[in-house]
Copies of this chain bind each other. A is one copy, B any other.
Amino acid sequence: MLKLGVIGYGYWGPNVVRNFASQPDCRVVTICDTNPKAVAQALRHHPAVHATSNPDEVMRSSEIDAVAVVTPVSTHYDLAKKALENGKHVFVEKPFTATSAQAEELIELADRKNLQIMVDHTFLFNGAVRKIKELVDAGVLGPLYYYDSTRVNLGLFQHDVNVIWDLAPHDLSIIDYLIGLEPELVVATGGAHLNGLADMAYITLHFPKNIIAHLNVNWLSPVKVRTTLVGGQRKMLVWNDLEPSEKVKVYDKGIQVTDNHDESRQRLKALVEAKVFEVGAAQAVHDLLVSYRSGDMWSPQVDQTEALQLEARYFLDCLASGEKPVNDGRAGLRVVKMLEAADQSLKHRREIVYASSRGPDRPGYSEVPPIKFAL
Contact = CB atoms under 8 A, between A and B. Distances in A.
A279 B222 CA distance: 26
A196 B210 CA distance: 12
B10 A183 contact: no
A333 B354 contact: no
B375 A313 contact: yes
Contacts of A334: 357
A1 interface: no
B177 A368 contact: yes
A218 interface: yes
B47 A154 contact: no
Interface stretch (A59-67, A83-91, A143-151): A143-151
A370 B212 CA distance: 21
Contacts of A133: 370
Interface in A125-172: 125, 130, 133-134, 136-137, 145-146, 148, 150, 152, 154-155, 157-160
Nearest to A136: B366
Contacts of A341: 352-354
Contact of A186 (B7, B33, B283, B352): B352
B134 A326 contact: no
B280 A193 contact: no
Given A34-B276, A38-B278, 14 more contacts: A10-B280, A35-B281, A150-B150, A180-B363, A180-B365, A182-B354, A182-B362, A185-B351, A189-B212, A195-B265, A297-B299, A298-B298, A310-B373, A350-B350
A242 interface: yes
Contacts of A301: 252, 294-297
B154 A255 contact: yes
Nearest to A290: B157
Contacts of A216: 148, 214, 216
Interface string A294-322: 11111111000000001001100100000
12 contacts: A148-B200, A152-B229, A180-B364, A182-B356, A187-B352, A193-B233, A200-B212, A208-B365, A223-B229, A317-B373, A317-B374, A330-B357
B214 A221 contact: no
A180 B367 contact: yes
Contacts of A313: 373-375
A96 interface: no
